[in-house]
Structure 1
Amino acid sequence: MRDLVAGLTYLGKGQRWVAGNRRQWGFGLLPGLITLVGYAAAVVCLALYADDAVAWATPFAGGWASPWAGLFRGALTVLLFGGGLLLAVISFTAVTLLVGQPFYEELSARVDRSVGGEAPESGLPLWRELWISARESLAVLVRAAAWGVLFFALGFVPFVGQTVVPAIGICFSGFFLAEELTAVALQRRGVPLRERLRLLRSRKLLTLGFGVPLALLFLVPVVAVFVMPGAVAGATLLVRDLMGEGPVETEPEAAGDSALS
């Protein structure tokens, strides 16, 4: 239970850190806003053309007697749109982190320095870091999307689908959201994906205490944009705990309010 509370505490500390570094918080909004505009356009297109796409993909249902063709295609349209929204929620963080990779790495490094610690560097060129980040994020998203589809299908099971499944789904989303956010600091430390997952599983309550509240907040993409910079800062503090790197109390006088160099 202590780890669960600690995870939530790191989330609050991260938001407090960016509140004292307003220029960096402002820069941190840009990747989220860019991603949000792209996702909003994609969702609108999906809403407008989902039924046409289903009709094109199911020509065999064209000759079915009424009302079966309409019911069948209507159900597929709902599944397509719901699956698209689920994928958008799951992938929003990964895409935002990829778009804002250089900034978020610098923000994470400044958090490390603000607590009196060193800021580890991967030593890799930017293009290499972007490639590794994209490749590992894709691996996580494929795994998360597969489980997400399963949870979505189980949602149609009476009672269980409306109670147990959503709770498990939020915990699942919170875990992978924490993985994506801690990846910024852990990649700077040269920790590969498999080892990152092992670290997070070793402190499940700490990971869920940090990730589950964020998963609930990130259900509203506009909220995710404003929370993202603080989430990266809080994830860096959480990583210092996981790696046993010493104190995680921020020092406002060390954090500063300077712009990114």
Structure 2
Amino acid sequence: MSDLGAGFGYLMKGQRWAFGHGRWLAFGLLPGLITLVVYAGALIGLGHGADDFVGWATPFADDWSSPWLGLLRNTLVVLVYVLGLFLAVITFTAVTLLVGQPFYESLSEEVDRSEGGEVPGSGLPLWRELWISARDSVRVLLRVALYGVLLFALGFVPVIGQTVVPALGFCLSGYFLAQELTSVALQRRGMVLADRLTLLRGRRLLVLGFGVPLTLSFLVPFVAVFLMPGAVAGATLLVRDLVGAPRGEDGAAARTPYTLRKN
């Protein structure tokens, strides 16, 4: 259980680092602001269109008597919006990281530099890094969508759907959110997606301790934008723990033992 506290500690350390480096904080806010505008418009549209969508999807209930018709459709409207919010929380980070790849890579490098030692680098051109990041994000998001559909279906189960399923949803969101954030530092260290997933599975509680509180905070409007620079910084610090930051003979941190593999 100590890993849960350690994961939360990295989240706090990352925020302190970002707010202690004002120039990097401002630098890291730009991608989140751009993505926020797009997502806010999408969620507003979903809020206005959920009723029509549910009515279109449940024509079989048109002749149901009150209160069953209203109960069914109101429940489905809430579930549709919750699912949309769940997907927004998960995909917000992936899209923001893709939009802000050059920004967050530079920020992550600065965190490594501030911790001392050699700064790991992938040595890949920017277009290649963007392609790898987009491809891996799609792979992760497909897994998230699969779990999301499963949780959505379980939401109809009485009691469990209103208690256990939301808790599982937040844990799942936090886990995949941490996966996306740590991908910046891990990709620079030459780790392919399969290796990254294996590494994170080995410290699930640490990853959940980092990702779940961040997911909960992201539910508050506009908070995600201001926490993203610190989240990237904290994920970089967490990665240094996961892969180790071995020291050279001069006491400086050496490169990670992972070697660059072809993506």
Q: Please indicate the TM-score interval, normalised by the length of the shorter structure.
A: 0.7 to 0.9
Deviations 1:180-208 (A, max 9, x none): 00000001111111111100011112111
Secondary structure of residue in 2 paired with 1:191:
coil
Report the CA distance between 1:228 and its aligned residue: 0.7
Corresponding position: 1:51 with 2:38: no
Secondary structure of residue in 1 paired with 2:222:
helix
Closer, same or farther in 2 for the Cα pair 1:16/1:166, shift >3 Å? same
Deviates further, 208-217 or 146-155 = 146-155
CA contact (8 A) 2:18 2:233 kept: yes
Corresponding position: 1:216 with 2:216: yes
* 2:128 matched residue in structure 1: 128
Query: Equivalents in 2 of 1:144, 1:123: separation in Å?
Result: 30
TM-score (norm 1): 0.85
Query: Equivalents in 2 of 1:2, 1:62: separation in Å?
Result: 50
* 2:206 matched residue in structure 1: 206
* 1:147 matched residue in structure 2: 147
CA contact (8 A) 1:111 1:237 kept: yes
Closer, same or farther in 2 for the Cα pair 1:47/1:190, shift >3 Å? same
CA contact (8 A) 2:182 2:235 kept: yes
Q: Which runs of 5+ in 2 are unaligned?
A: 248-263
Report the CA distance between 1:75 and its aligned residue: 5.2
Query: Equivalents in 1 of 2:229, 2:169: separation in Å?
Result: 24
Closer, same or farther in 2 for the Cα pair 1:22/1:46, shift >3 Å? same
Paired amino acid for 1:190: G
Report the CA distance between 1:155 and its aligned residue: 2.7
Deviates further, 71-80 or 1-10 = 71-80
Q: Which runs of 5+ in 1 are unaligned?
A: 248-261
* 1:170 matched residue in structure 2: 170
Deviations 1:209-249 (A, max 9, x none): 111111111122411111110010010011011111148xx
Report the CA distance between 1:130 and its aligned residue: 1.0
Query: Equivalents in 1 of 2:62, 2:240: separation in Å?
Result: 62
Closer, same or farther in 2 for the Cα pair 1:246/1:49, shift >3 Å? same
Closer, same or farther in 2 for the Cα pair 1:81/1:123, shift >3 Å? same
CA contact (8 A) 2:86 2:173 kept: no
Query: Equivalents in 1 of 2:164, 2:70: separation in Å?
Result: 31
Paired amino acid for 2:108: S
Note the aligned Cα RMSD (angstroms): 2.2
Query: Equivalents in 2 of 1:164, 1:81: separation in Å?
Result: 18
Highest RCO, 1 vs 2 (Cα 8 Å, sep ≥ 6)? 1
* 1:256 matched residue in structure 2: none
